[in-house]
Structure 1
Amino acid sequence: MTHYAIDPVSRIIPYQGANNFRDMGGYETEDGRRVKYGLFFRSAELHGLTENDLLHLHTLGIRTVLDYRHEQEAALKPDPAIAGAVYECIPAFAADLPIAAAQSHTMEELLGGAQTGGFGPEMLAGFYAKLPFGNASYRRLMDLIQEPERLGLLHHCAAGKDRTGVGSALILLALGVPEETVMLDYLLTNEGLASFKAEILARIAPALDERALQGFQAIMAAKPEYLNAALDAIKERYGSYEAYFEQEYGLTAGRLDALRSYCLETI
């Protein structure tokens, strides 16, 4: 079996057939504990995983795969079966975001939008601001992380950047990881997608004008203003993350304590 050395800084597991695959463990919390490794993983789409990738993946102890893509995306590029893991596909879009708009966010359609100038930073920031509310996929995520028998949990979308980026932020915030570290984890996506982005750009650059090139750069980048749009919207609506977790997901202070007691370790 091919050896896959995890980068200790980025936590990236360098699979040949999946981009931006990383362990979310190791982050220090506000109370001085640390998120355990091997409980939470995030990734881009898994369709291209090679045989050797899968052999290694099976050693990670994945018990749950939560796919944020909508049904059409998942049908076009289905996840491979992972032995011992339960697969769930719950599209990540907010209750007040039209389904048609949410379903336009496949990788191919986003790249096409970049070429026509149809997508850009303002669109993405607005999308992020809506994601944390009334979102069935994140409700399921918050339920799953409270069930130790369903961890390790692997959650993913197409690029592992937007829908997975917000989902990852919610996991880390629920565990008491400070906002600055949550942002750091989000921005590591720029490293996790670097080779994929370069490959796509080399293929489509000759057909892009300056406006389309800027649009491509916008949709493929993890920018602080994107995640901040989601975090600011939470604080504006609820006043605090604690109130948000309790009112959106029923994660009371007691439940947060129980979650942290299992998922965190003393340094």
Structure 2
Amino acid sequence: MSTTRDGAYPGQRIIVLEGTHNFRDMGGYQTADGRKVKYGIFFRSDELTGLTEQDLAAVQALNIKTIFDYRDDYEAQKKPDPVFAGVKNIRIAAIQADQASRINISGNAGNADRNQHVIVDMVKNGYFKQFRADTMMMGLYTKLPLGNPSYKRLMEMIQHSDNLGLLHHCTAGKDRTGVGAALILLALGVPEETVMKDYLLTNETMKDFNGKLLSQLAEHVNEVELRNIEHLLGVKEQFMEAAFGSIKKTYGNVDTYFSEEFGLTNQRRKALQSMYLE
């Protein structure tokens, strides 16, 4: 297992594996009071189905106790998670059924190739001829943080240290996982601007993979569709700002949001911080 940072694990942000493109440790980020999130507690990733035998051994060595999957039935059946001995696999769809068909064509892909990227499925189904991806993504991020059973379970789980290390993921590890990661970091007291940096790091980790995919698709779609695909593959500051804005519009501030949405009172957040910060 290699890394973009010096030194052996723990203490590395990006964990390079053969079968994933966006596997990261969420540790090392500084909170408003000067403490830092511990490494080796929270991990985020894209889909795990492509992990090699060497990857599986590397992930096993991270002492992960829970794999939390934000994907829906269709995604998980097409590309199932590996099962590790002694690790709990929990899956609760973060995108509800009425939105799913507009974000990942769930249930509309017919007999799609199991090894084919979901974007290819979407191109074949004419998705990018029908929808403006940037507008749809803004709407998605506005809805994701509110009344979401997946994040409610996530916030419940992280209050119990015996569930951790925790690896949470979706398909690309950027939108559903991006919001989930933002909520964890915010709950720990990491400032919004730092949370945004963690979110935007996906554009770096996925750059090569997305570039290759766009090149492959360029000969099959027109310019408008290609720009639409770019919106869906990357992350943008305005998307996460939509999530932050939705939280503040609904609750006024982050503290009230955590307390009323998840029962994470200031006292419970302090308990979280004492466990997971150093």
Q: With structure 2 as the length reference, what TM-score do the two structures score? A: 0.89
Residue in structure 2 matched with residue 192 of structure 1 by the alignment? 205
5+ unaligned residues in a row in structure 1: which ranges? Answer: none
Computed over aligned residues only, the root mean square deviation of the Cα atoms, in angstroms, reads 1.7
Structure 2 residue aligned with 1:90, among 83, 92, 97?
92
Q: Indicate which of 106, 118, 122 corresponds to 2:131.
A: 118
Cα distance in 2, alignment partners of residues 210 and 232 from structure 1: 31
Q: Quote the offset at 1:202 in angstroms.
A: 2.1
| Equivalent residue, structure 1, for 2:243 | 230
Partner in structure 2 of residue 148 of structure 1: 161
Which SS does the other structure have where 1:46 is aligned? Answer: coil
Mapped to 1, the partners of 2:270 and 2:212 lie a distance apart of 44
Code of the aligned partner of 2:188: L
Moved more, 138-147 or 4-13: 4-13
Q: Could you tell which deviates more after superposition, 255-264 or 112-121?
A: 112-121
* Deviation at residue 7 of structure 1 after TM alignment: 3.2
Distance 1:56 1:163, change over 3 A: same
> Quick one: distance in 1 between partners of 2:134 and 2:41?
32
Determine which of 176, 180, 193 is the counterpart of 1:167: 180
Q: How far is the alpha carbon of 1:145 from its aligned partner?
A: 0.8
CA displacement at 1:200 relative to structure 2: 1.2
1:202 to 215, 218, 224: 215
Residue in structure 1 matching 2:46, options 40, 44, 47: 44
Partner of residue 59, structure 2: 57
**Alpha-carbon distance in structure 2 between the residues aligned to 1:196 and 1:10:** 21
Preserved CA contact (<8 Å) 1:70 1:103: no
Q: Return the alpha-carbon distance in structure 2 between the equivalents of residues 196 and 155 of structure 1.
A: 20
State percent identity of aligned pairs.
49
SS at match of 1:42: strand
**1:22 aligns to 2:20 (yes or no):** no
Letter of the 1:101 counterpart: Q
Q: What is the alpha-carbon distance in structure 2 between the residues aligned to residue 26 and residue 111 of structure 1?
A: 38
Question: Structure 2: which 5+ runs fail to align?
Answer: 105-117
Mapped partners of 2:123, 2:166: distance in 1: 29
Aligned length: 259
Change (3 A) 1:90 1:174: same
TM-score with structure 1 length normalisation? 0.92
**Distance in 1 of aligned mates of 2:48 and 2:131:** 27
